């Protein structure tokens, strides 16, 4: 590549927001190769194979107009004036989101700009001024605070307890009876559903919990049960239909469950879910219920379903159409295929062929919309049950991206990148880097569309939740992009409009009266945590990372942990407390060849040093006896009390740790369910049914320890 071509490519990459050089975990500067830059730029629609194309793409970027006139959205903080381009008259009318109007005259500030006096009411307001029409997003000073949410529910303690649950891991008691709530349909006694969240919330509230943090419940692929990682969904705009509970919507007479049913092995000998069997059974049952619904057309439910489809609009129609098309092409292409494998005339949801398909398969599209209706109704009921007994209710989890083969990428192509996946550069945890196999929003596409895709995603996830955990929230500042077919280490960082995205997140949290927790783990850009705190977002603090290097390492005293955070002992990507203590994660990695025997032995030695450091920290806090030797069994109660003793406003404790589970939920780097030798990611269930979970084994004792350390007294009352 000539010097001129090289300079043009770098200039284009910088203009597009790519970081052509970055500093690795060892402090060394790494420069991104030209092939990586070309691949990523092409994924953004910026041609760059020649100097002429680079020049044309540069001109295109320079012509890009991010004004409110072009994008239809202006963002301004409450109490700050709004400056817009003037087009004709300076008289304006602002239609407020909550009702009412503001009339006035803008002030000409020169250079074709006009200043509109500050608005103090947060929300999305409609501005008309001369030839300008746009939405004005007025951002609140901060997102709702945990303390405010607790006070609103007449809860006095300043530090709340949260239980963390993997939805699919929950089990129900098989029961019979005349009420719909007692009906157990085929497949509904394995692999959790939304109704179980309501039951678990009631039990958790009795133990003093203020919220229930759940795994992502985004829409998956009904035609491919082999894709079940909750962090690799088909769409974040809709729900996993396999979590819907028909008994939460219909009465027993309507459901008419079979008198006898075949009992199938939904779990294997290790207690891991057989997703294909479960999904096959549930889909079969759901189709029978849909057939009955179509046949009887019960007025009340039909009217509600019609309204659900009307409000779902284009987004729901597109998702239902994708589901039907994916199933249509699966016999020929295999269930693992994606929309780019379809004939080209089906590549866009607005194409003539897609419209014809939707018309000739209208009933199938209604079925998939029906599934979303059932799921939304079931989740709404779970949140209603939760907020009846706890101040926050469900804390939803928003995955960082979606499967590039799925519904979201197909229906929002102008805002989602194609041809690249997101991940993480090489670090001490994953020396070869990480490729998560997900796609993400294009920063350029987001701006051009007034952030419509980001806003609708936030609204979808917050629709039935009192809080939101944002997975890899650092992705709002930058993402590591890996071109398809390249190694994870051969990626590049791309910058995102952090302030705009954080402001819109704060506004949506305010509109939904929900708290925000961001997973700010890993290499955090400078100033990022301060930007979160200014907006009232909580970060995450994990025991294993709250330490200083050394032999043994020195763990951070609980009193020194930050306040504005959600404290926890571990996460779904890390070992459980018992598993960490016995080195179960090291054993798995050695078993599958990631660690050689020598490396595994070295890791075990490091772990012993870490255990000694943690034991010393527990002793310093009076949670263990200094003269006692390092115990063989994990001191789970002391470890939980250590984290619970921090000033963090939220403490999240996973059910797996309360129940003494040794195996972790997810072992990054291994695909669950595909190979017999692979770690069973996202398939482990909890041995006890929801009704008995918090009364099993050491759970009552551990919960008592947590309540004492958190200062939680009587069970939380009803939220007003």
**Domain boundary assignment for the chain:** 3-62, 68-139, 157-710
Q: What pLDDT is attached to residue 716?
A: 44
Strand partners, 541: 567
The token pair that represents 422 in the structure block? 């997101």
314: how many CB neighbours lie within 10 A of its CB? 10
Residue 241 and residue 371 in contact, taking contact as beta carbons nearer than 8 Å: yes
Q: What pLDDT is attached to residue 720?
A: 40
Q: How far apart are CA 545 and CA 397, in angstroms?
A: 21
Q: Assess whether the region 68-139 and the region 157-710 belong to the same CATH fold.
A: no
- This prediction has a pTM of 0.94
Place domain 68-139 in its CATH homologous superfamily: Immunoglobulins (2.60.40.10)
The CATH code of the domain at 157-710 is 3.20.20.80
Residue 634 and residue 642 in contact, taking contact as beta carbons nearer than 8 Å: no
Q: Which residues of 528-552 are buried (b: 16+ CB within 10 A; e: fewer)?
A: bbeebbebbbbbbbbbbebbeeeeb
Residue 625 and residue 513 in contact, taking contact as beta carbons nearer than 8 Å: no
Strand partners, 492: 481
Q: Where are the alpha helices (DSSP H) in 106-251?
A: 146-152, 194-206
Q: How open is the CA angle 225-231-232, to the nearest 5 degrees?
A: 55
Q: How far apart are CA 236 and CA 250, in angstroms?
A: 26
Nearest residue to 261 via CA among 375, 176, 181, 374: 176
Q: What pLDDT is attached to residue 552?
A: 86
Residue 195 and residue 382 in contact, taking contact as beta carbons nearer than 8 Å: yes
Which helix (H) or strand (E) element contains residue 709? Answer: helix 699-710
Q: Which residues lie below 8 Å from residue 299, measured CB to CB, with a gap of 6+?
A: none
* Torsions phi, psi for 505 (to 5 deg): -65, -40
Q: How far apart are CA 601 and CA 264, in angstroms?
A: 41
Residue 564 and residue 650 in contact, taking contact as beta carbons nearer than 8 Å: no
694 burial (CB, 10 Å; 0-12 / 13-18 / 19+) is: buried
Q: How far apart are CA 234 and CA 562, in angstroms?
A: 36
Residues in the chain, pLDDT under 70: 1-5, 154-157, 173-182, 257-265, 429, 670-677, 713-720
364: how many CB neighbours lie within 10 A of its CB? 18
Q: What pLDDT is attached to residue 8?
A: 92
Q: How far apart are CA 44 and CA 415, in angstroms?
A: 9
Length of the chain: 720
Query: CA dihedral defined by 397, 399, 403, 404, rounded to 10 degrees?
Result: 140
Residue 287 and residue 367 in contact, taking contact as beta carbons nearer than 8 Å: yes
Q: H/E/C letters for each residue in 44-66?
A: CCCCCCCHHHHHHHHHHHHCCCC
Q: Where are the alpha helices (DSSP H) in 297-361?
A: 299-333, 352-360
Nearest residue to 278 via CA among 290, 261, 266: 266
Residue 22 and residue 493 in contact, taking contact as beta carbons nearer than 8 Å: yes
Q: What pLDDT is attached to residue 266?
A: 82
């Amino acid at each position: 590549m000539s010097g001129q071509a090289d300079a043009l490519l770098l200039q284009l990459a910088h203009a597009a927001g790519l970081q052509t050089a970055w500093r690795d975990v060892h402090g060394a500067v790494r420069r991104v190769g030209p092939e990586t830059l070309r691949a990523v730029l092409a994924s953004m629609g910026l041609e760059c194979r020649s100097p002429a194309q680079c020049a044309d793409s540069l001109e295109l970027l320079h012509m890009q107009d991010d004004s409110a006139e072009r994008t239809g959205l202006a963002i301004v903080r409450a109490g700050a004036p709004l400056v817009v381009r003037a087009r004709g008259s300076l008289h304006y009318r602002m239609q407020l989101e909550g009702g009412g109007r503001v009339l006035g005259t803008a002030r000409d500030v020169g250079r074709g700009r006009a200043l509109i006096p500050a608005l103090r009411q947060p929300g999305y307001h409609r501005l008309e001024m001369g030839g300008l029409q746009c939405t004005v997003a007025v951002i609140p000073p901060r997102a709702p605070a945990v303390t405010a949410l607790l006070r609103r529910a007449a809860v006095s303690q300043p530090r709340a307890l949260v239980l963390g649950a993997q939805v699919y891991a929950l089990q129900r008691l098989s029961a019979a009876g005349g009420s719909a709530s007692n009906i157990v349909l085929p497949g509904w006694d394995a692999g959790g559903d939304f109704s179980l969240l309501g039951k678990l919330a009631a039990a958790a509230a009795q133990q003093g919990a203020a919220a229930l943090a759940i795994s992502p419940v985004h829409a998956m692929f009904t035609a491919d049960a082999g894709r079940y990682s909750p962090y690799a969904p088909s769409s974040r705009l809709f729900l996993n239909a396999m979590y819907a509970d028909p008994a939460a919507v219909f009465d027993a007479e309507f459901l008419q469950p079979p008198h006898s049913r075949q009992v199938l092995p939904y779990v294997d000998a290790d207690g891991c879910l057989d997703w294909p069997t479960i999904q096959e059974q549930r889909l079969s049952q759901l189709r029978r219920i849909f057939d009955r619904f179509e046949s009887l057309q019960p007025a009340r439910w039909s009217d509600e379903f019609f309204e659900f489809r009307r409000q779902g609009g284009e987004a729901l129609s597109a998702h239902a159409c994708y589901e039907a098309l994916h199933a249509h092409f699966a016999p020929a292409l295999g269930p693992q295929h994606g929309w780019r494998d379809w004939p080209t005339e089906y590549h866009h949801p607005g194409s003539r062929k897609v419209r014809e398909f939707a018309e000739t398969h209208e009933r199938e599209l209604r079925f998939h919309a029906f599934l979303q209706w059932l799921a939304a109704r079931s989740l709404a009921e779970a949140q209603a049950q939760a907020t009846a007994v706890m101040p926050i209710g469900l804390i939803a989890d928003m995955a960082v991206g979606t499967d590039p083969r799925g519904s979201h990428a197909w229906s929002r192509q102008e805002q989602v990148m194609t041809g690249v996946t997101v991940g993480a550069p090489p670090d001490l945890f994953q020396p070869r880097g990480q490729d998560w196999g997900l796609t993400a929003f294009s920063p350029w596409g987001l701006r051009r569309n007034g952030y419509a895709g980001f806003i609708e995603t936030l609204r979808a996830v917050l629709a039935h939740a009192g809080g939101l955990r944002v997975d890899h929230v650092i992705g709002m500042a930058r993402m590591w992009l890996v071109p398809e077919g390249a190694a994870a280490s051969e990626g590049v960082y791309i910058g995102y409009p952090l302030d705009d995205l954080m402001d819109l997140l704060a506004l949506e949290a305010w509109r939904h009266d929900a708290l925000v927790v961001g997973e700010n783990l890993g290499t955090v850009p400078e100033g990022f945590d301060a930007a979160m705190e200014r907006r009232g977002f909580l970060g995450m603090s994990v025991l294993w990372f709250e330490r200083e290097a050394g032999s043994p390492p020195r763990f951070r005293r609980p009193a020194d942990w930050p306040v504005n955070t959600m404290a926890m002992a571990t996460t779904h990507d890390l070992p459980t407390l018992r598993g960490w203590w016995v080195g179960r994660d090291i054993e798995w990695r050695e078993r599958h060849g990631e660690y050689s025997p020598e490396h595994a032995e070295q890791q075990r030695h490091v772990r012993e040093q870490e255990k000694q450091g943690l034991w010393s920290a527990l002793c310093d806090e009076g949670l263990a006896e200094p003269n006692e030797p390092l115990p063989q069994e994990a001191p789970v109660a002391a470890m939980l009390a250590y984290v619970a003793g921090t000033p963090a406003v939220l403490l999240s404790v996973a059910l797996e740790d309360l129940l003494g589970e040794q195996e972790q939920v997810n072992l990054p780097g291994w695909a669950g369910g595909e190979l017999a030798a692979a770690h069973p990611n996202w398939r482990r269930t909890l041995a006890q049914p929801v009704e008995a979970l918090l009364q099993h084994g050491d759970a009552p004792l551990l919960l008592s320890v947590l309540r004492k350390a958190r200062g939680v007294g009587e069970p939380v009352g009803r939220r007003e």
